[in-house]
Amino acid sequence: MKIIVSIKQVPDTSGKVAVNPDGTLNRASMQTITNPDDMNALEAALKIKDETGCKVVVVTMGPPPAAGMLREALAMGADEAVLVSAREFGGSDTYATSQIIAAAINRIGVEKNDIVMCGRQAIDGDTAQVGPQIAEKLHLPQVTYAADIHKDGDTITVKRMLEDGYMTIKVKTPCLLTCIKELNEPRYMSVSGVFEAYSKPLTTFDYEALKDDPLIDKSTIGLSGSPTNILTSFTPPQKGAGMMLEGADKATCEKLAEILAKKHII
């Protein structure tokens, strides 16, 4: 049995985000990290590995430097890593991305007892679409927003969060789960893990390696194969000048409630 964890290297948007004058993101000036939800997915996989001794394979699509992030995952305890990287894959939207990652996962192979895990969403795009779309392409049942995962043979019981509560869902392997932060606290890399990370296998799948998969068709991957395109991008509206109200009376507070309502807060 194995668990395949799809992870993404993202700019750290929790720090200061630099924007170019033309409204695009100045990626060069930002630190990169492993997407936080993906860390929870990896930790969930490693926990199951601790209990069952299964194999954990991490996969990412990105430019060659993303290999550094894969080494970190290996240092945390993953057994194998796969970097999916090719010029043909660049500029993909979520549809195209999921086709490519699904093809890579097909190449790794999903067997009857396997699980595929993803983070709920990446902090750069914030779409939460790639996980379900990979599940669709691999014809696997999905459970998103997983806050608790229990594995019992080929049955997985998942606490799936909703805005106003949760559902407990039973699903059979193979399946795909997307994980949220409530699930666990990701572990640190260990010193011995860091040493071992460099002797563990890290494979690169380029276009040639995946091109025979039916999902890899030039018309459905990369920038030109993406159903969605960016029409314009810009920086959000600047803050207006501060306003001041005086007096602690009812009228002031009613006005305030109206302002909050206009901002869709209440």
Partner 1 sequence: MSKDIYVVVEQRNGNIQKVTYELISEATKLAADLGEQVVAVLMGYKIADKAQSLIHYGAQKVLVLDAPVLEHYTTEPYVRGIEYVIKNYEPNIVLFGASSIGRDMAPRIAGRVHTGLTADCTRLDVEVSKYQEYLRKATNLPEEKIMALDTSDRNLKMTRPAFGGNVMATIVCRNYRPQMATVRPGVMELGEKDTSRTGEVVMVDAGLTEADMNVEILDVVKQTKKAVDITDAKILVSGGRGVGGPEGYNPLRELAAELGGEVSSSRIGVDSGWIEKDRQVGQTGKTVHPELYIACGISGAIQHQAGMEDSEFILAINTDKFCPMMQLADLGIVGDLKKIVPALTEAVKAYKAKKAAL
Q: Other CB atoms closer than 10 Å to residue 138's CB: what's the count? A: 21
Angle 43-73-86 (CA atoms, 0-180°, nearest 5)?
125
Closer residue to partner 1 in complex, CB, 169/202: 169
Token code pair at residue 176: 């795909």
CA distance 184 to 37: 10
Closer residue to partner 1 in complex, CB, 87/150: 150
Closer residue to partner 1 in complex, CB, 195/253: 253
Closer residue to partner 1 in complex, CB, 91/132: 132
Nearest CA to 7 out of 30, 55, 41, 31 is that of 41
Residue 180, SS3 per DSSP: coil
Closer residue to partner 1 in complex, CB, 66/177: 177
Supply the minimum distance, in Å, between the C-beta of residue 210 and partner 1: 18
Place of tokens 């999905």: 142
Closer residue to partner 1 in complex, CB, 91/141: 141
> What is the greatest pairwise CA distance in the chain?
72
Supply the minimum distance, in Å, between the C-beta of residue 204 and partner 1: 25
Q: Is the peptide bond before 201 cis (omega within 30 degrees of 0)?
A: no
Contact 70, 202 (CB under 8 A): yes
Supply the minimum distance, in Å, between the C-beta of residue 213 and partner 1: 15
CA distance 147 to 183: 4
Contact 130, 98 (CB under 8 A): yes
Supply the minimum distance, in Å, between the C-beta of residue 81 and partner 1: 25
Supply the minimum distance, in Å, between the C-beta of residue 222 and partner 1: 14
Closer residue to partner 1 in complex, CB, 31/252: 252
CA distance 76 to 73: 5
Query: What is the rounded (10 degree) CA torsion for 76, 39, 124, 205?
Result: 50
Supply the minimum distance, in Å, between the C-beta of residue 62 and partner 1: 16
Supply the minimum distance, in Å, between the C-beta of residue 97 and partner 1: 11
CA distance 155 to 164: 26
